[in-house]
Chains A and B, each alone.
Chain A
Amino acid sequence: MILEGKVWIFGDNIDTDAIIAARYLSTVVPEELAAHLMEDIKPDFPGLVKPGDIIVAGNNFGCGSSREHAPLAIKGAGVSCVVARSFARIFYRNAINIGLPILECSGDLSTIKSGEDHLQVDLDLGQISHIESGRQYSAEQFPPFMQELISRGGLIEYVKARLDQ
């Protein structure tokens, strides 16, 4: 699958309290969560982010709590994909489990202009292109087991298939 969208850049160690503050956890509806996405660190973000946009971040994205509300809020805002240098482990598994595309990329994406520039992401090949400069980046390959989870659309579908056997 090939995605293309406007980029929003965030730094290192973006924690799940920053992605969605605990005071908004009284709902499980992704769109309601999305109304407060990144609110405490970028208050205007819920109004700026549009479906199809791409979040780019540094190290350890999604550290802190296990709240699946964090990837759900990102999904609820219509963000198509998160590219980070690395992900905290619970966020990583949550994103894969719920079918939010994520890519680990060690390339230097810091020169890309947040809220202006665009990326094209080939999820299958792990190829990332910066539209404005034409620069190419490679993402880490997922191990086969995770590719299967991703291709089935997440953990629930994977388990359903097992239960059907």
Chain B
Amino acid sequence: MSKTTGSTMVEKILATHSGRERLSAGELINAKVDLALGNDITAPVAIKEFERFGLDQVFDPDKVVLVPDHFTPNKDIAAAEQVKTVRRFAEEFGIKNYFEVGRMGIEHALLPEQGLVGPGMVIIGADSHTCTYGALGAFATGVGSTDLAAAMAIGEAWFKVPQTMRFEYEGTLPEWVSGKDLIIYTIGQIGVEGARYRAMEFTGSAISNLSMDGRLTMANMAIEAGGKCGYVQPDKITFEYLKGRVKVPYTPVYSDKDAVYEKVFNYNVDSLEPQISFPPSPDNVKPVSEAAGIKLDQVVIGSCTNGRIEDLRAAAAILKNKKIHPRVRLLIIPATQLIYRQAVEEGLMSIFIDAEAAVSTPTCGPCLGGHMGILASGEVGLATTNRNFVGRMGHPESELYLCNPAVAAASAIAGQIVHPKEVVK
């Protein structure tokens, strides 16, 4: 077959994993998976389904990762029972990448940090934010528990090869503007189904200069635009991040110059303001200036979206020598144990505690309304998390706004949503 046009990174990765020379968008394939992930909510359903196969082993115990991070440390007896199911399964099937509380971090911060993710891999996770690993040039996508059960049995998953949308961000990000703002701005532009079933390729000078933490935040929220995955092609920043960390074999893959994109978007970011997602949808996005004055009861800094060290540093830079507003509760949740320790060593924890924030051990906790900071009816929250659907952080009559860590910290001090420059003068 003669080659007529080029392929995108995702088409190439899926082709090599399905034994095909090349693939086109729309084809249905079975692909080998290099890593299959579950958590304390989704793995129990997967384990129940897996047991129907009657197998005494998983396809490869080193390629299964189980992270009890959602309702842990166990919030109640039911949660404890679910984690027990996962723990026993890990023991029985020799899955050494089971991360117990104390080693546990929020899965999508933990896996890259632990060197389990590399470019060119196919990763599925029974968690929608599995798309995070696209930041490292992997094809990574969220699936359901039954998909995880099947992958644990045969090491494969079925996919429709997605069309790819290319997002070009040119220019220099202003102060206090981050990867979070780029992604929620994009979701605001295209809507929560703007990239439904699509791969989202992030590129341009603003991405070339964006840190790995910022890229992880962007790829993490591809799902909020309906995306199958979001990715950045491997570059200098990727390889610096992987150095001394990555424990798995990997092969970087790049989109061809003549790859076919369904659509190309161009954004200039030179004058982008910090962005806010208004309730009740991540695509209800306005610049922070239009959110100014919204009074807050609780602010959360953490989650798989924004609980990394760079996020904590951004918050600490604003909170230093300040106290939060007396009406506001500020919860700060480092995403992993390593990030937690780094925050201690860098003196960030003292800043948070002196500012009268509550600091928690790693957990998804309040992000999905699980525990550790649930909103009452009528309360208003601001969070660095990823979703603000009705009832997402608690009572169906609470409201949640989404933002970057600097805006969250500044707003906790002001007691209302503000631009960080209003607090740091």
Contact = CB atoms under 8 A, between A and B. Distances in A.
Contact of A68 (B42, B153, B396): B42
Interface stretch (B45-53, B270-278, B289-297, B351-359): B45-53
Nearest to A157: B52
B193 A65 contact: no
A70 to B, nearest CB: 9
Contact of B389 (A64, A71, A159): A64
B52 A160 contact: yes
Nearest to A39: B396
Given A40-B391, A98-B146, A89 B369 contact: no
B153 A159 contact: yes
Given A22-B369, A22-B370, A26-B79, A66 B127 contact: yes
Interface string A141-165: 0010110010000111011101100
A98 B146 CA distance: 7
Contacts, number: 138
Contacts of B391: 17-18, 21, 40
Contacts of A72: 45
B407 interface: no
A89 B226 contact: yes
Contact of B196 (A67, A86, A98): A86
Contacts of A162: 154
B192 A68 contact: no
B149 A156 contact: yes
Contacts of A17: 368-369, 387, 389-392
B142 A156 contact: no
Contacts of A163: 53, 55, 153-154
B107 to A, nearest CB: 12
Contact of B49 (A90, A146, A156): A156
Contact of A40 (B42, B125, B143, B390): B390
B147 interface: yes
A141 to B, nearest CB: 13
A88 interface: yes
Contacts of B228: 89
B28 interface: yes
Among B42, B48, B154, B281, the one with the most A-chain Cβ atoms within 10 Å of its Cβ is B42
A86 B193 contact: yes
Contacts of A145: 28, 158
Contact of B28 (A66, A69, A146, A154): A146
Nearest to B146: A97
Given A22-B370, A159-B154, 7 more contacts: A17-B368, A63-B226, A66-B127, A89-B228, A98-B144, A155-B158, A156-B49
Interface of A: 13, 15, 17-18, 21-23, 25-28, 40-41, 59-60, 63-69, 71-72, 86, 88-90, 93-94, 97-98, 143, 145-146, 149, 154-156, 158-160, 162-163
21 contacts: A13-B281, A15-B389, A17-B389, A26-B78, A26-B79, A28-B44, A40-B396, A66-B42, A66-B126, A69-B45, A88-B226, A89-B196, A89-B197, A93-B158, A97-B147, A143-B28, A145-B28, A155-B146, A156-B52, A159-B150, A163-B154
